[in-house]
């Protein structure tokens, strides 16, 4: 009998917590306009069904994609600067080091 009372109390406590959570959730949503958009209405359909392993799977997939894209070299790897980019940087360094700041630009 005591075990039955304990489970009834646990269920009622869980129900109360769920009611409080739902109350806070609805009050928070009504205050902010962004939560009333269609995007968030669509996301509400998935809140109950989204499990923790789903989040883990999505995170691992994102990390795998990031890793695969990071394996290759960057676009200018092992190529000499072709269009004077280094020259422009070198001239800008000369200007900034040897001229006062008021002479950097001519307005």
What was the pLDDT predicted at 89? 81
Residue pLDDT tens, the chain, 107 long: 555 555 555 667 778 877 877 776 666 656 665 566 676 677 666 666 665 667 778 888 999 998 888 887 776 677 776 666 677 788 888 888 888 888 877 65
Q: Could you tell me which residues come within 8 angstroms of residue 29 by beta carbon, excluding any fewer than 6 positions away?
A: 35, 36, 40
What was the pLDDT predicted at 3? 56
- Domain-located, residue 30: yes
Chain centroid to Cα 37, Å, comes to 19
For residue 13, give the 3-state DSSP assignment: helix
- Domain-located, residue 38: yes
Q: What's the pTM value of the predicted model, to 2 decimals?
A: 0.29
Domain residue limits at 55:
2-64
Number of domains making up the chain: 1
What was the pLDDT predicted at 21? 72
What was the pLDDT predicted at 64? 93
């Amino acid at each position: 009998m005591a075990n039955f009372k304990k489970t009834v109390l646990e269920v009622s406590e869980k129900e109360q917590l769920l009611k409080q959570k739902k109350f806070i959730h609805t009050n928070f949503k009504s205050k902010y306009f962004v939560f009333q958009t269609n995007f968030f209405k669509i996301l509400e359909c998935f809140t109950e069904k989204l499990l923790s392993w789903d989040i883990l799977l999505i995170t691992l997939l994102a990390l795998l994609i990031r890793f695969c894209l990071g394996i290759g070299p960057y676009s200018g790897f092992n190529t000499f600067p072709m269009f004077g980019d280094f020259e422009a940087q070198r001239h800008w360094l000369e200007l900034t080091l040897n001229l006062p700041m008021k002479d950097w630009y001519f307005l």
